[in-house]
Structure 1
Amino acid sequence: MTDEIPASGRQFEIAHGDAHAVITEVGAGLRGFHVDGVPYSETYEADRPAPAAAGAVLVPWPNRVADGRWSLEGEPQQLALTEPERGNAIHGLLRHIPWTVSEHTDSTVLLHAMIPVQPGWPVPLLTSVEYSVDEHGLTVRHTVENLGSRRVPFGLGVHPYPRAGHAATDECTLRLAASNVLPLDGERMLPSGPPRELAGAEQQLPGGLALRDVWLDTPFGGAAPAPDDPAGLVRHSVTDPNGHGVQVWADPVFTWVQVYTAGEFPGRGRAVAVEPMTCPPDALNSGVDLIELEPAGTWSARWGLRPLG
């Protein structure tokens, strides 16, 4: 008799020096990242599914599609309503399936999964994600290849919960490299108007917003590298009162970032998700910042976590 497979599937560990990460087979998600025993992402038990989409890869769209409906070249498409209480399709098609490992070394693991033609998605895509750790932290590279015979739009996002070591979330400060916010309706969490400038407490986000008593489930746009950034990367961060914490960096194609404050993350309580996205919610309908992939075309981009302080 074999051991029972955990709810998140087999676990793939990678390490370099004191840096260590755990990746799940189901959803190819990040289940944990720490350096010298200091946690820089929230974690959860392997015998339960990822809570609140923790660590998930969101492809071929991040966030929500209203009514699960969109169209490709005038052809109506109907996705399954995976958020039935709000009547939306949410977070893509690969969160709950096992991915296949293509390569696994001490410090790197590469997984891939197929998005086949199915109701609501008429073009097959091959996706892969490579996690690697080194002396700088965790780097994640996503690749999407169009295996079909027609052009298809898509988006990609990720759902990490960065953590400033052992500090409580309410002791931490959030910084975002974003310049605007997309308003949502409060009932279905769908766009209710065009992006607007940061206002009120949101104006503190570029310089640092204290997270105590802050509740967000909000997409921010205009995420861009600082003009003097030598690597040309988008950089968000969560830090403790001493400036120690973690940076969530991303290639410039991740012009959006969703921030979600969870009230009851298992074993943690308050936690914050900082989710780089290539497009906003309901982009399959609005068309905003979608990536157009030609037949046989390939797209790739990176993001990662880097300890600070």
Structure 2
Amino acid sequence: MTRSALPLQDTANGQVATLAANGFTAQVAANGATVVSLEYNSRPLVRAFDPRSPRPVFSGAILAPWPNRVIDGAYSWQGQDQQLEITEPERGHALHGLVMDTAFEIAEHRADFAQLRTVIEPSAGYPYRVQLVVEYRLEAGGLRTFAAATNLGEGTAPFGWGSHAYLVAPGKKADEWTFTLPAGKVQLTDGARLLPKEVVEVSGTELDFRTPKPIGDLFIDHAYTGLAAGADGLFSASITDTKGLGSQITWDEACPWVQIHTADRDDPALDRTGLAIEPMTCPPGGFNSGQDVIALAPGASHEASWLIGPVQPR
């Protein structure tokens, strides 16, 4: 018997679709194609928020057409200089793309599935027309995100994906969790503006989580690469409590980078209460350096996928 979809709800974050299947429940908001909540057998896997209130610090949002920062909002693409709006004024950068606050259309909604669509229209600093289709599906292993971008315009567009989920494990803070990330390299940053610097080996540094270890009071706001795939050919990262309960995110080779952030904030309700684990197709400053930026030709598409699920004690 197929379960009927619950009605869409109107909230401060646009329409919200509720999904339920395989022991999981999730909420997805139209604004930013945002994952509002995800639970497995009533245990939270991401830091949830009340969709009737403003979304806190990008929680669960889709990041496109670039993740992380464009330094000074300025970049050059195929011989043309571009200037984006500065959306992170305290650091002077263009942050997390153009669709964080876009009202996606919920084009399809079933009990275990939602498809959201929008089109990035040409604008200052990004004179390209790109369609985004983001699908959420509750599978046996968790919440699958499938993201596809198609260039509807005439020029080749620079493009990058990212997602901004804050994963959680039982307990109040990241300080209590054990983190595992099989990544051999990390990008250093410079100063309060978090300017990207060189990529170095993690070996011998406190940022090495190839062997599971507690986060403690370590501050992390770094992009990792040099990812080691598992036997299934996928990349993954996880957090667990002392009993081995937690959450994990698994993603494919479309995203060779992952941003990790310990969510340090002045607000006690947000401070280190989740660990941002953000698969990305390109690094911070990718539009500036050109590294791993997708050249999306007219009519071409690019796809990426990731899955958030539970970790259980062995």
TM range (shorter): over 0.9
1:116 aligns with 2:133: no
Distance 1:132 1:266 in 2: 32
Distance 2:255 2:43 in 1: 27
SS at match of 2:183: coil
SS at match of 2:307: strand
Match of 2:40 in 1: 35
Match of 1:308 in 2: 311
SS at match of 2:57: helix
Match of 1:144 in 2: 149
Contact 2:166 2:276 in 1 (8 A): yes
Q: 1:298 aligns with which of 273, 278, 301?
A: 301
Give the superposed CA RMSD.
1.6
Match of 2:221 in 1: 217
Distance 2:185 2:287 in 1: 20
Contact 1:233 1:252 in 2 (8 A): yes
Distance 1:296 1:302 in 2: 20
Within 5 Å, give how 1:65-214 maps onto structure 2: 65-166=70-171, 168-192=173-197, 194-198=198-202, 199-203=204-208, 205-214=209-218
Per-residue deviation at 1:5?
A: 4.8
Tell which deviates more after alignment, 194-203 or 64-73: 194-203
1:252 aligns with 2:257: no
Contact 2:174 2:262 in 1 (8 A): no
Counterpart amino acid of 1:151?
A: T
Per-residue deviation at 1:8?
A: 1.4
Match of 2:59 in 1: 54
* Residue 135 to residue 167, structure 1, CA distance change in 2 (3 Å): farther
Distance 2:170 2:255 in 1: 25
Residue deviations 1:218-265 (CA, integer Å, cap 9, x gap): 111112413xx1x21101111111222111100112111111112346
Residue deviations 1:55-80 (CA, integer Å, cap 9, x gap): 01110000000111112211111110
Contact 2:22 2:138 in 1 (8 A): no
Q: TM-score, normalised to structure 2's length?
A: 0.92
Distance 2:228 2:94 in 1: 28
Structure 1 unmatched ranges of 5 or more: none
SS at match of 2:229: coil
Per-residue deviation at 1:54?
A: 0.6
Distance 1:282 1:49 in 2: 27
1:63 aligns with 2:68: yes
Tell which deviates more after alignment, 109-118 or 5-14: 5-14
Distance 1:46 1:306 in 2: 21
Contact 1:51 1:266 in 2 (8 A): no
Match of 2:277 in 1: 274
Per-residue deviation at 1:113?
A: 0.9
* Residue 67 to residue 83, structure 1, CA distance change in 2 (3 Å): same
1:16 aligns with 2:21: yes
1:240 aligns with 2:245: no
Q: 1:44 aligns with which of 26, 42, 49?
A: 49
Counterpart amino acid of 1:252?
A: E
* Residue 36 to residue 256, structure 1, CA distance change in 2 (3 Å): same
Count of matched residue positions in the alignment of Structure 1 and Structure 2: 301
Counterpart amino acid of 1:172?
A: W
Per-residue deviation at 1:53?
A: 1.0
Distance 1:110 1:166 in 2: 32
Match of 1:283 in 2: 286
SS at match of 1:60: coil
Counterpart amino acid of 1:303?
A: W
SS at match of 1:92: coil
Contact 1:39 1:166 in 2 (8 A): no
Counterpart amino acid of 1:208?
A: P
Contact 1:223 1:254 in 2 (8 A): no
Structure 2 unmatched ranges of 5 or more: 1-8
Distance 2:72 2:235 in 1: 32
Match of 2:4 in 1: none
SS at match of 1:122: coil
* Residue 266 to residue 9, structure 1, CA distance change in 2 (3 Å): farther
